[in-house]
Amino acid sequence: MELYIIRHGDPDYKNNTLTEKGWDEARQLAQRMAKTKPTKIYSSPRGRAQDTAKPTCELLGMTYKVEEWTTESMDYMQYPSIVRGEAAKCSWETDFNKGVQNFADFASPDRALTIDELSLCSDAFLSRHGYFRKGLGYQVKKSSNDKIAVFCHGGFGAAWIAHLLSLPPAMGWMHFMLTTTSVTKFLFESNDQGYTFPNLVYLNDTRHIVNNECK
């Protein structure tokens, strides 16, 4: 299975849509995704994410399904407190090699639940596609050739990427910067034991944008 995490185009936050530049980015992205040929397309409930998905859907003759849990929240975009005793641990833990590791998520108590929800919803989403979280990886109950595209947001996307890499989700915002319409690809490839680790193929790729300085 291939998973594509896509940030929305240049946003018009006031009107919950895209700027003229954002629409142009979305159309260029659609040309790229037409070559990728996703089999399933999902979107955040936010207008800017759905509008970014529309040119791709129109070009491919597909429709997107809204996943409420992929919406943006300022909870993903707050730097950690550096004052001793103010950091809170989310219930983010993993068992590996017969041991349980607990990670401080650097989140203040008022946003810990949001980050916990992302982890739980991510695991539920992937289990619906045949991949069940187990320790640092996933047990493959039903191998899939699906190419799944999820149109979402910078803060959310960075936190989700961190979770897939078995890092505390809050670290995503600290370390990953996702450009508008950037594409991040994960490959879920089963081994002989029916187990997989999400392999990060590329991060924050914007090669589809004409005159892109990072091309």
| pTM as predicted | 0.86
pLDDT tens-digit readout, 61-120: 999 999 999 998 776 666 554 433 444 444 445 555 555 555 454 555 566 677 788 889
| Contact by Cβ (8 Å): 65, 147 | no
% of the chain surpassing 90 pLDDT: 62
% of the chain surpassing 70 pLDDT: 80
Question: Which letter does DSSP use for residue 89 in this model?
Answer: -
Q: Which amino acid is at 209?
A: I
**27 has a pLDDT exceeding 80:** yes
- CATH 1.10.10.10 for domain 2-205: no
Domain ranges of the chain: 2-205
Long-range contacts of 101-110 (CB under 8 A, 24+ apart): 103/168, 104/168, 105/168, 105/169, 105/170, 106/80, 106/81, 106/168, 106/170, 106/171, 106/174, 107/75, 107/78, 107/80, 107/170, 108/78, 108/81, 110/75
At 135 the pLDDT is 82
CA distance 199 to 188: 6
Q: What is the mean pLDDT of residues 130-141?
A: 91
Q: Which amino acid is at 183?
A: V
